[in-house]
Amino acid sequence: MKKHIIEISKELKKNKGFRTKLSLICYRIGFLENYIIKRKILKIILNILYKVLKLFTFVFSTGDIPPKGCYIDYGIRVPHGFQGIFINENAKIGKNVTIFQNVTLGAIEKTPYKANIIIGNDVYIGCGCIILGNTQIGNNVRIGAGTKIINKNIPDNKTVVNKYELTII
């Protein structure tokens, strides 16, 4: 338990802003309640605390990160306070990942809740990215703003950007 508290405090120091810290604390309390804590009374207390914080988190940050099923390793950096960040309950996110605002890690409409998104360590996900379906992102990957990745695997040490054509009418 001490290890988890140390990692959470490092994570809070790494992230700035009230909304970000509130969202991280909310997720980590839910994570501890679901996966770490074994005593029933502590689980009940943490569950109540999680539900109260979840309400405030959704109001302040307009994002959703479910602690059941979704695994986020320590060291996550969220510069814009989980603004519009939605993560599917089956997602697995590695260490030291940076996620900017308005990012969706989700399922495809035809296969609801069946997304198996795996994000490696030291990954940078730019604002407005959409990552859907059965997708694996390797370690040390940089994903540019607005990039859409659907059912694709990205190997380690790559940079991914969308190529848009500008049409002026």
In a domain, 22, yes or no: yes
pTM for the structure as a whole: 0.83
In a domain, 165, yes or no: no
**Which range marks the domain in which residue 97 is found?**
1-159
In a domain, 81, yes or no: yes
CA–CA distance, 112 with 140 (Å, rounded to integer): 29
The residue among 74, 82, 78 whose CA lies nearest residue 32 is 74
Question: Residues 6 or more apart from 77 whose CB is under 8 A from it?
Answer: 14, 15, 96, 97, 98, 99
In a domain, 164, yes or no: no
CATH number of the domain within which 105 lies: 2.160.10.10
In a domain, 63, yes or no: yes
Q: What share of the chain is helix, strand, coil (3-state, %, to 5)?
A: 30, 20, 50
pLDDT, one tens digit per residue, over 16-46 is: 888 888 888 888 888 888 777 888 888 888 8
Instruction: Say if residue 160's pLDDT is above 90.
Output: yes
In a domain, 54, yes or no: yes
In a domain, 168, yes or no: no
pLDDT, one tens digit per residue, over 40-65 is: 888 888 888 888 888 877 777 667 77
Counted domains in the chain = 1
Answer for the pair 100, 81: CB distance below 8 angstroms, yes or no.
no
In a domain, 167, yes or no: no
